[in-house]
Structure 1
Amino acid sequence: MKKVISTILLVILFVGSGYVVNAAPEMKSLANFETNDQHYDLQGIEHSFAKVLNFKTNRKDITAKTILKFVYPKKTDKEFNNASVSIKDCIRYATSIGVNMEWLDATKNELNFNQVKSELDKDHPVLLCYKPNKTDWMEPYLLAVAHGYVYVAPDGENIKEPFMSTSIWMSNYIYPSSLTTLTNKNMLTVTDFSVNNTPQKDYTFIGMIILK
């Protein structure tokens, strides 16, 4: 369904704007990557890592609590409700189960869509890291998991630069569900439907985490 929606968007963007797309869009979607689950709690970072690690290891039992127990072995289940860990802690947990990860700083403060495409072509989901423009102790970072893309190569005539839309999953937010080279090279605005007075939050891209 997301592939169909993405293709429709491309038709609107290029054909609707007077462009003619000579080549068919290149599309990729990670098989069996589940996107319907949402988690409205303080463990957004942990949920994102658990999502990627389950996919990488072909498991289903890794959860946010699994990572919390690894970092805080003496805490009780009740204490986990208000606990969170750092990105470094999550990478450390990944290493402990045999999954190596690498942090890549943002290049020129922009999301490198070519890098995302390269990783997805290897069937590797990508963790995209954002920092809120307004300090929020409850959510110091936002992680979005890239799991698919639609790519249109330049044709030397109508399309001067490559266009790409990458599908994303976020634990706490359902919108947006994709990022594009036209509007999301360094910024991300999410809609929080649970908050009436401030439904939108702005974030700046700071780096990505890839599987090695």
Structure 2
Amino acid sequence: MLPRVVKSFILRVILFYTLPILIICGLIPWNNLSEQTSPFVQVLTSAGMTGAAHLMNFILITAVLSAANSGIYGMTRMLHSMAIGGEAPSGLARLSSKGVPVRSLQWVAVLLITGSLIAYFAQDGLFRLLMAVPGFVVLLVAVLCLSVIAVLFLFDPQNRISIAVCLAVLGILTVWSILRFKKTGSPKLTS
């Protein structure tokens, strides 16, 4: 069931997002798009089809709700599968009498409500917040990967001397800065 959902999701992304963006960019220059209205509505209005613009708004809202529904389904089933595999709390594996992973669905609902509240109360900072989360994850993954690479370097005898020198210099600088700033306090910035 889940592979079919993933395939249909990819098809929906191509049909409802990629192709329309190509059409919009072909009809209206990117720097003439307004932030106040949907690009789809703007294209239809500029073509003199204001009634079709209202229909497009309805279609867009329906598409967003459909995407949210797919996301809820996928996330609920993913949490349930992770709980069965021991990668999430075991309570999330419980099913209702009709086979619905109710606990997983409740967690997804809490996350959606929390996200909606953040979007409502922090509209100005929402984009920054949404970009900070993946940015932090990428930074964390990069640090972990570099740490693994540094440890793997230790297994090569040719790298041991250079790593030992680097660690010694790092240790000396750390001890020196601790002793220096412990006596004098925090460093003073000069302009």
More helix by share: 2
The answer, yes or no, to whether TM exceeds 0.5 is no
Larger Rg: 1 or 2?
Answer: 2
Give the structure-1-normalised TM-score.
0.22
More strand by share: 1
Of structures 1 and 2, the one scoring higher in RCO (CA 8 A, sep 6+) is 1
